[in-house]
Amino acid sequence: MIIETERLILRPFTENDAADVYEYLKEPAVNCFACMKLDPVEEAKEEMKKRVSETEYYFAITLKDSGKVIGEIDAYPETGELHTDENYVRDTFSPCWMLNADYQGKGYAFEAAHPFFDYLFSKKGARRIYTYVEDYNRSSQHLCEKLGMRREGLFLEFVSFVNNPDGTPRYENTYQYAILKKEWR
C-alpha cells in the first residue's frame, strides 16, 4: 500500500532504508521509544529485513522529491482493552509516529498522519483510533489535537520505559487521546 500526499509518499520499508532510519533511531527522541533504539547501523539493517514484510500497517514517511525516509507511522488492529477474546472484532488502532528531528516543525507529521487515519477508517475497518502521549510531549499532543482527537484522560504514573539514575522505574504521566470513525471529518 502506498499513500501519496502533496510532499510525501508513505510506503512499506525496504532494506535500503537502514541508513535513514538509523539517523533517528540511533537515539530515540522519547522514552516511550527507548526499546526501538537501533545502534550500531547493523541493527538498523537487521530491523529493515524484518520490516519489509509489513505492507499494510507500518509505513516509512518519505520525501517525494528526494525519496529520503524522514520518519515512520504505524498502527495495528486491536480488539480494544476489554476484549481478550482473540476472535473479537479488531476495529481499534493505536498509532505511533516519529520524525527525524531535522524534519519536525514543517507540517510533515500532520501531512502523514491525516491520510493514514483516513486509510485506517476507510480501508482497514477502524472504528476507534487512540493514542497514549506523555504529559511533557507537547508536539505529539498538538498533533493529536490537530487531527481532531479528544483528550480522554490523564493516567498518573501509568507506565515506565526507563529507570531513574538510582535504578528505580521512572513512571510517566500519560494522556489518552482518541477519535471515533463517526467523529472523523
Ligand X SMILES: CC(C)(COP(=O)(O)OP(=O)(O)OC[C@H]1O[C@@H](n2cnc3c(N)ncnc32)[C@H](O)[C@@H]1OP(=O)(O)O)[C@@H](O)C(=O)NCCC(=O)NCCS
Q: Is 110 in the site for ligand X (CB under 6 A)?
A: yes
Contact 137, 151 (CB under 8 A): no
Q: Is 147 in the site for ligand X (CB under 6 A)?
A: no
Crossing angle (nearest 10°) for helices 18-25 and 41-51 = 120
Give which of 150, 156, 152 is closest to 182, Cα–Cα. 150
Query: How many amino acids of this chain bind ligand X (CB under 6 A)?
Result: 19
Q: Which of 67, 107, 148, 169 binds ligand X (CB under 6 A)?
A: 107
**To which residue does cell 467523529 refer?**
183
| Binders in 15-34 for ligand X, by CB under 6 A | 29-30, 32
Give which of 135, 124, 110, 104 is closest to 29, Cα–Cα. 104
Q: What angle do CA 153, 155, 158 make, to 5 degrees?
A: 150
Cell numbers that stand for 156 in this block = 498518573
SS3 at position 163: strand
Measured from the CB of residue 53, what is the shortest distance to ligand X in angstroms?
A: 24
Q: Is 61 in the site for ligand X (CB under 6 A)?
A: no
Q: Which of 90, 91, 104, 127 binds ligand X (CB under 6 A)?
A: 104
Measured from the CB of residue 56, what is the shortest distance to ligand X in angstroms?
A: 21
How far, rounded to the nearest angstrom, does the alpha carbon of residue 103 sit from its chain's CA centroid? 15
Q: Which of 14, 37, 50, 105 binds ligand X (CB under 6 A)?
A: 105
Q: Is 139 in the site for ligand X (CB under 6 A)?
A: yes
Q: Is 140 in the site for ligand X (CB under 6 A)?
A: yes
Which residues make up the interface to ligand X (CB under 6 A)?
A: 29-30, 32, 97-99, 104-110, 133, 137, 139-140, 143, 146
